[in-house]
Amino acid sequence: MKNKINWLLIHLELILVALFVIIPIVWIIMSSLNTGNGLASASFIPKELTFDNYKRLFTDSNYSKWFLNSFIVAALNAVISVMLIMLTAWIMSRFRFRGRKTGLMAILLLSMFPTFLSMTAIYTLFWNFRLLDKPVALVIIYAAGAIPYNVWLVKGYLDGIPGEIDEAAYIDGSTYLKTFTKIVLPLSRPIITYCAVSQFMMPWMDYILPNMLLSSDESRTLAVGLFGMISGKENSNFTMFAAGAVLIAVPITILFMFFQKYLVQGIAAGANKG
């Protein structure tokens, strides 16, 4: 009897929390299938289902353009960040040279300064170098911002790989760079996956910097474009926003689920810094 009551109570709690989690998600999916434009007309159980909002995304807005911009920024960011992070972390972990400790402490301090607090300077810098309104230029900010924190993370990981492995390769006549690409990189696949995936996912929903640096509708990224749809008072494009949100949330959610193991490991390692 006691077992049954326990079973019931625990499942009741689990189901309640599941509902708490799921209802907003179901609501936004339903809204995206609603007829009508505004928030008020987005009822939980629509009278009729329609894919019009999804079609309108591609005909009435620059959604595909925004998607492409975001994708290019995200992909480039993943590649460039990972290259810079891995090289820097490898040097910091395996070589002993003057200024190493100072450099490590310096980037540790730098990683504590939120990037977007320096927006005025970045804006002026971009204006100076004629980089405003160019989505690709965002990559350099993201990559630079990613280095400090992730270098510490990856350095911690590399420190855990015995140095004897590289030493053996050097004795066999391998060069530095060859050892890096043939031995260090393959051994650090989990942490590379973490860096690449997290750097790929980040730009999709970053709002502040792209909003400030990109002015024309064509060059916007998804986050800025989607926000623009509902920033008006009357939310007249709400159902279209819902469609756009669902359309981008689904692939990112799947990506997250797929790489969940690596992301969890990466965060745990980041909190412990190795």
- By CB under 8 A, tell whether 71 contacts other proteins: no
Stretch that binds other proteins, among 46-54, 68-76, 107-115, 191-199 (CB under 8 A): 107-115
Compute the least distance from the CB of residue 216 to other proteins, in Å.
Answer: 19
List the one residue from 36, 190, 228, 270 that touches other proteins (CB under 8 A). 270
Among 239, 193, 202, 237, which residue's Cα sits nearest to residue 222?
Answer: 202
Residue 158's contacts (CB-CB under 8 Å, 6 or more residues apart) are 89, 90, 93, 94, 184, 188
Identify the CA nearest to 221 among candidates 237, 208, 236. Answer: 208
Residues within window 185-224 making contact with other proteins, judged by CB under 8 A: 201, 204-205, 207-208, 212, 223
Minimum distance, C-beta of residue 94 to other proteins, in the bound complex (Å) = 9
Closer residue to other proteins (CB): 100 or 182: 100
Considering the rule CB under 8 A, would residue 79 count as an interface residue with other proteins? no
CB of 47: closest distance to other proteins in angstroms? 15
If one asks whether residue 268 binds other proteins (CB under 8 A), the answer comes out as yes
156 scored as a contact of other proteins (CB under 8 A): yes
Residue 252 interacts with other proteins (CB under 8 A): yes or no:
yes
Which of the stretches 53-61, 62-70, 80-88, 184-192 binds other proteins when contact is defined by CB under 8 A?
Answer: 80-88
State the helix-helix crossing angle for 138-159 and 63-94, rounded to 10 degrees: 40
Question: Residue 248 and residue 143: Cα distance in Å, rounded?
Answer: 22
